[in-house]
Each structure stands twice: as C-alpha cells, then as structure tokens.
Structure 1
C-alpha cells in the first residue's frame, strides 16, 4: 500500500509533458529611412508647385470678370456679400477664402452646401454673389445652391477643373483649374487641386484689395485684436493729449515747471514758445537727465530755457506705435512728444505701449 504512491510518483516523473512551448516573435514594420521621407516631401511640394505654375500660366480674362463681379460687393448701390461654398476638402478651402476676403475688405462668409438644402438657402439673397468650389464640378450637394442662384439671378462664379461639369456650365464665370496630377500617390486625396483652389482664392482677395486701395489703416480696422492688430496701432491711438500734456511756456521759472513735471508723471516737460513766429511750437524739453546736469547750480532760481534741451526729438501721430517703441529703446528714452507742424498734439510714454501689448 505504501509503495503505490511511490510508483505513481515514478510514473508521473517518467511521463512526457504534453505542454507546447510557444515562442512569441515580434514582427515590426521597419520605418522608411529619413531620406525617403524627405524625398516624398520634396516630391509633393514640387508637384503642388508645378500645379500653381500651371494655374498662373492660364489665368485669363475670366479672372478679370470674376474680380469685376466681386468688386460690386459692398459698393454703393452694389451687392451685399460673397457667399463661398464647397463640399469636403473644397469646403475647408472655401471657409479660408471667405475668411481672407472678409478680413481684407470684402464681406464674405461660408455656407455649407448640405445645410443649404435644409434651410440655409435663406442666407443667400438676390443681392449676393455666389462662389462655389468643386474639383469635379459634379458634387450633388451643390445642386440646390446652383438652382437657387439660377432662380434668383444671383451671379455664380465656379472654381473647378471641369468646365463642362454641372457647376461649370451653370456658372456665369468659370475659373478653371489646370489638369494636373494630385500629389497623393493614388491620385485620390485632394492635394494639388486644393492647393490651387486656395491660391486662386488668395489671388482674388489680393486683386480686390489692390483695386479698392485697401490700406494698413483699413486692415487695422478689421484686425483690432491679436498680434496683427497691435502691430498696426498708431501713436495717435495711445498718446495723451490736451490738458494731459506736461507743457509750460518759455520763460517759466523752474520751480513752477517742476510742479507741472511732478503732476504729470511722464518724467519730462515740454517747453513751448510764447511769442514770435514760433508761438505755440515745441522749442525744448526738460528731462530727468537735464535736471541732474543742473543740480549743482541754483536750479530753482533758473528759467526752463536755461535747463531745457533745445530742438527735442519728436514723432508724428501717424507713426506706428511699434516703431515709436523701437526708437525709445534705441535712444534710451521713455517718452516722445507728438507734434504736427511743430506744435505738440500729444505725448506717448513707453508704458503706454507696454500696456497696449506692443513689444
């Protein structure tokens, strides 16, 4: 009885294992060499650049006609807005074109063609211009927009590579994209075609800007916020004018001048001529540096004329604030008097620029 367990143990020891040993082999997809990535990137960029070159070579009178139509937008007695539309990737490009036009003086916004079929057609009025983007020109979602344009005699500008497509034939003006190969290796993903659309939209926006005489001042009106807006702020937008200016007349005792200087906190006072042909003109400035240079004498007994720096450096009101700040840093001063025809109209301090977010 005692030997049975031992025999059983012997059988167990001699039994061949039924477990199968499995080796896990990790298979990894080798990444292409960095040089291959660079080659792909260059190929794509060159293909798209060739597309843009082909597009530039074929721009003709149709482009001028499109600009003529778009010029009527927001003009007295003209049309109201540009409605830009497109489906898929063309739609994303259309949004950007609308944004670019709106920010450069041509009222424009994007309408999604599928949403247009479900009520958003109400956004498109007889006073508008319709700009539709489609590489193939036969996108079914654009059908209702096109029909709406025809029904209400809304000018339609089509941007497509197929001028004989539904969009091309319905358009009053067709901006034709040249037949170039997509950068996608399968020729399926919109790449070269959308790049051309985007560039053509920029070309329209810039042509409109130049025809309208769009200036930096106009641009600032549409870009009050962000870095762009701050870079276009002018000195006249920040300067202190009227009674805020620290000014005294020529011949004022320094005792009085110092009271004026302390009460304005600009670190300087301007001196204006009181008589003669220069009456009202800025003839000098007293700064902290001038005070230090005359501190050893009887400063309070002197007149501002004896202490001031004559013919001070000044700026005009239409100078960009960023340029004024650059000059302050270069000259190591903290404020500029702002003059017109030699007469002070304001003063701008470095702190004014900093508070406005100008760097």
Structure 2
C-alpha cells in the first residue's frame, strides 16, 4: 500500500510541476486565440486524435456551455466527409502534442484554402501544425508522469488546463453570466433556479384551493383537505383575493372554540401574502423563507388569482 501511495504522489507532483510552467507561457498568441474566438461569426471546431481527442471533446463542451458555440470533429471522420461541417466563418482548434498527427497533414491545407484560422494546442513548436496556425498555445513538457514516458499524462493535463484557460478567458471577456450558463444547462439545478418562474411551477386550474368570500370555515376545511396546498384563497366575485386561510389558522381557530360554521371572512388573514406569477421561482423560495411560510396564492399583474404554490412544489422542481 505504501508503494501505491508513493506512485500516486509522484505522478501528481510531476504533473503539477509541469502545469506550473503554463501561466508564464501565456502571451500574445493566447490573446490572439481568444480574439479569434470572440470575433468568430461561426462555430469553434475542435479536433484531435487519441488522448488529444478525448481532451478536445471536453474543450469543445466547455466552450459550448460558456457562450462559444463549438463542436468536436474527429480527424479521421473529417477526412471522410465531416470536413463539410466546417464553413469559412468558423475557427479551428487543432490539438496534437507532437504537432505531426498525419491526419492534420490533409486537413490543414483545406482549412487554409477556406481561410479558416487555426489555433494550435501543441508541444511541437516547430511542427507543421504550429507553422500553419494563427496562434500557438504551448503545452510542452520536460517529462511525462508515466515512468516509461509513453502514456500521455503531464501533456494531456497541460492540454486540459490550456483549454480551460481559453474557454474561461473568453467567457469572462463576453461578460457571460449565470443566466447565460443556465440556458445551456436547463435540466441542472442552476437552470431550475435561474430559468423557472413561478408561473412555470405553480399549481393551476382545479388544483388551486379557492372559495368565495361568502363561504364558511367548513368550506375552507374541505378545500384545504381536497388540494393539500396548505392554504385556501378567499376570493371576491372578480377573482381578486380578499384573504387567505391556512391549515394553521384552522387549528388555532378550533383551539379558541371557533366553529366550522363561522364565516370565513371573519377569520381569514386579509389580504394575506401573495406571489406574482412573474417572479422567478427562486425569489418565491426566498420569500417563503423570509416570511417563515410554506405556501401562497399566485396572482397576475391585475391582482387576480391564477395559481397556488407551496414549498414542496419548488423542491420538486429542483429549486432549493
């Protein structure tokens, strides 16, 4: 076991040692690469083979999710039709540690003829790839962490880090915000928080607990039991809310010797807390926490009852 810990620690130290050299290598070529992506009117096409290809897929995904439309193109498939996916408005990021991947020997002349600028991520600074590129990002290393110097380790880590630096620098230059990130991650927790509005998660139609202002406490109890929201909205004839009555109000009323025949108008809370349907769902959750409540009726811009929302609805929508 001690040997295993030693091997693991040795690898991490070697990779970190190589990675520490990257910040000082960023200069005009890095700026040029960022500007090519920022001014790009098409997509960013990322390509690499072997381990470079695996890292390239991650770089393309990072760019796409941070505001720079991108996709990965396998070099072999590119030579058998996928080059047709590239247009003159695109930018290409080609990844090869040696800079001598044979597939790129066929791809580079075509990109040049189309005037598609190339960003090279490579350790071969005198390679054909580097010489053909508009910007060269240097990921060269002195030593792979693999003891035989065969398996890409330090070099693939440097590639990943350089790709992250490129994607995040461009993202920040764009002024990319949380809301923008959420649009490309709508199924994630961030998307749920930032994209969903109250009207998207509220209960509607027959699921909304509602009784007229002429009703009794008994009517309110039936509606509370039917819907399970935790409150009932008491409405005037024009569907505007006169007040609210909760499960807790019912318990407190009965403990004070109130009766089920009492008029709901005499015991309701008026006008009661209401949530606009235009609010973001995360705003509704904050209001629930601030007011120490778990449910509220939802109103439109005219103040009319259009729905109901409780904290369980928010949690089920992934908002917490």
Whether these two folds match at TM > 0.5 is: yes
| Other structure's SS at 1:294 match | helix
Does residue 118 of structure 2 align to residue 159 of structure 1?
no
Does residue 55 of structure 2 align to residue 93 of structure 1?
yes
Post-superposition shift, 1:225? Answer: 3.2
Post-superposition shift, 1:320? Answer: 3.0
* Cα displacement string for residues 287-339 of structure 1 (whole angstroms, at most 9, x for unaligned residues): 11111111221343334353438764969832439x939967x96x6534457
Distance in 2 between the 1:41 and 1:267 partners? 55
Post-superposition shift, 1:51? Answer: 1.9
Distance in 2 between the 1:197 and 1:243 partners? 56
Post-superposition shift, 1:258? Answer: 5.4
Does residue 22 of structure 2 align to residue 63 of structure 1?
no
**Which sits farther off after the overlay, 260-269 or 295-304?**
260-269
Aligned to 2:83: 121
Q: Is the 8 A contact 1:116 1:144 kept in 2?
A: no
Structure 1: runs of 5 or more not aligned: 1-33, 275-279
| Other structure's SS at 2:97 match | coil
Does residue 285 of structure 2 align to residue 285 of structure 1?
no
Q: How does 1:2-17 map to 2 (within 5 A)?
A: none
Does residue 201 of structure 2 align to residue 238 of structure 1?
yes
Structure 2: runs of 5 or more not aligned: none
Distance in 2 between the 1:119 and 1:69 partners? 25
Higher RCO (CA < 8 A, seq sep 6+): 2
Post-superposition shift, 1:231? Answer: 6.1
Distance in 1 between the 2:287 and 2:79 partners? 54
Aligned to 1:335: 295
Q: Is the 8 A contact 1:286 1:304 kept in 2?
A: no
Q: Is the 8 A contact 2:141 2:154 kept in 1?
A: no
**Which sits farther off after the overlay, 121-130 or 229-238?**
229-238
Distance in 2 between the 1:300 and 1:59 partners? 78
Distance in 1 between the 2:148 and 2:110 partners? 35
What is the aligned counterpart of 1:352 among 297, 313, 317? 313
Q: How does 1:109-258 map to 2 (within 5 A)?
A: 109-225=71-187, 229-230=191-192, 234-236=196-198, 237-240=200-203, 245-246=208-209, 253-255=215-217
Q: Is the 8 A contact 2:123 2:138 kept in 1?
A: yes
Q: Is the 8 A contact 1:238 1:352 kept in 2?
A: yes
Post-superposition shift, 1:140? Answer: 1.3
Task: Give the structure-2-normalised TM-score.
Answer: 0.81
| Other structure's SS at 1:38 match | helix
Post-superposition shift, 1:200? Answer: 1.3
Post-superposition shift, 1:352? Answer: 2.8
* Cα displacement string for residues 269-301 of structure 1 (whole angstroms, at most 9, x for unaligned residues): 246899xxxxx7x78531111111112213433
Task: Give the structure-1-normalised TM-score.
Answer: 0.73
Aligned to 1:268: 231
Aligned in 2, Cα 1:47/1:232: closer, same or farther, shift over 3 Å?
Answer: farther
